[in-house]
Amino acid sequence: MARVGGWLRWAAAGCVLAALGLAPALALAAAEGGSEEQGLINLNITILIQVVNLIILILLLSRFLFNPLKKFMADRAAGIERALAEAKVAREAAARAQEEYRAQIVATQREVAALREQAQREVEEERQRLLRASREESQRLVAEAQAAIEAETRRARASLREEVVTLTLAAAERLLGRTLTGEDQKRLAEQYVRDLGGKN
Amino acid sequence: MIAGSLAKRYARALVEVAASSGELDPVSRELGEFAALLREQRPLRLFFANPSIQRRGKVAVCEQIATKLGVRPLTSSFLRVLLEAGRLGELESVLRAYEGLVDERLGRVKAVVTSAVPLAAETQEQLRQQLQARLGKQVYLETRQDPGLLGGMVTRIGSVLYDGSLKTRLLRLREELVQG
């Protein structure tokens, strides 16, 4: 469109220059044919014809060149303005979209940060919980082991004591069976009778 | 084993008859001898318990044994009654019930004294007097020996036990030492 407008502009200028160049030639031809005196400009019919030609030329140019050219220029300017307006609207829409995108990005970043913080908090809480559970479990196991050891120790001591006592008393029983004399038996019987009487 | 009430019923009937004839203690002693014989002679016990042997034969054998032991007619008759009723195997229960009823009737108690060695007559008498003083009843002793007691003695009167044996003392000492 701009190239067409430029071509028309150059065509109009060429026509004007041709008309301006043709007018002196016509005047010169008229002068050569009409009078003796020749000047730079001779006021005669040639001038009139040239003026009429010029007017006709101007009218023709105005009719077929300048008006379409003006209309073309006006349309072009309107198109440019419309394109500029559309571009402005599009730029504003793009700016709004960009702003929205930026806001969404910021919100998303905040959300991501919040989620990350919550996840870290939950991970830390879980870690602490696992640590506590592990510590409690280990304490419980240690306590159970200590209790089992103590019980086993008590049981072993009791068993050892029982075995020692049993063996000792078995030996004492055998010794008594061998060494008790008739006198001892009599003394024990008398002691029994006395004890029985003492319980009255 | 027959029920205690049934044994007491037999014993009570025997006590009544023996008391009327003044034979309470002899009958008790003779029944004890017969019961000891059954306790010690397993073939004899099996013979009386064998259901394939006719009762008439068992009665004949019982009477022969009674004659050998020289028991009085009342005792022999009572053994025959038990045999014909099929209760001779429960003679021990009847005898215990009889002894209890006789003791009750005569106002005395029996003390079963178990010692490691045989007790001297003097010791037995002292023990009997101590028990009579304690119980306020006439006491007679039934002595037994158990070397496992080591020394001392154990007296049982009914369900009451007076334990003065070395064996029990050692057991108590063992319990105390084990308990710590």
Taking CA atoms, what residue in B is nearest to A161?
Answer: B178
Q: What is the CATH number of the domain that holds B76?
A: 1.10.520.20
Task: Kindly report the average pLDDT of chain A as a whole number.
Answer: 84
> Quick one: pLDDT at residue A1?
44
CB-count exposure of residue B18 (10 Å: 0-12, 13-18, 19+) = buried
Same domain, B24 and B90: yes
> Quick one: pLDDT at residue A2?
46
Whether residue A85 is predicted with pLDDT greater than 90 in this model: the reply is yes
Mean pLDDT of A148-157: 93
The interaxial angle of helices B24-40 and B91-106, nearest 10 deg, is 160
> Quick one: pLDDT at residue A18?
56
Q: For residues A173 and B170, is the Cβ–Cβ distance under 8 A? A: yes
Which pLDDT tens digit goes with each residue over B158-168? Answer: 889 999 999 99
Are the Cβ atoms of B117 and A176 closer than 8 angstroms?
A: no
> CA-to-CA distance for A150 and A120, rounded, in angstroms?
44
B107: distance to nearest CA of chain A, Å?
20
Task: Identify which of B133, B147, B153 has the shortest CB distance to residue A192.
Answer: B153
B177: distance to nearest CA of chain A, Å?
7
Mean pLDDT of A130-137: 96
Same domain, B26 and B94: yes
What percentage of chain A has pLDDT greater than the value 70?
Answer: 78
Chain B residues near residue A200 by CB distance under 8 angstroms = 133-134
Same domain, B17 and B95: yes
Mean pLDDT of A89-93: 95
Identify the domain containing residue B145 by its residue range: 108-179
Dump strand ranges (E) for B35-178.
108-115, 138-145, 153-157, 160-163
B134-to-A85, A197, B119, B127, B158 alpha-carbon distances in Å? 137, 7, 20, 10, 14
- CB contacts < 8 A, A to B, total 71
Cα angle B104, B108, B113 (rounded to 5 degrees) comes to: 120
Whether residue A6 is predicted with pLDDT greater than 60 in this model: the reply is no
Mean pLDDT of A70-79: 94
Same domain, B54 and B94: yes
Q: How many distinct structural domains can be found in chain B?
A: 2
Among the candidates B104, B124, B150, a domain finishes at: B104
Between A39-43, A126-130, B172-176, the lowest mean confidence (pLDDT) is in A39-43
Name the band, by pLDDT with cuts 50, 70 and 90, for residue B89.
Answer: confident
With 0.80 as the threshold, say if the pTM is over it. Answer: no
Same domain, B151 and B72: no
Structure tokens at B62: 């019982």
Bridge partners, B155 (sequence order): B113, B162
Interface test with B, best of A185, A191, A195, A200 (most B CBs within 10 A): A185
Same domain, B88 and B166: no
A188: distance to nearest CA of chain B, Å?
5
> Quick one: pLDDT at residue A62?
87
Query: ipTM of this predicted complex?
Result: 0.73
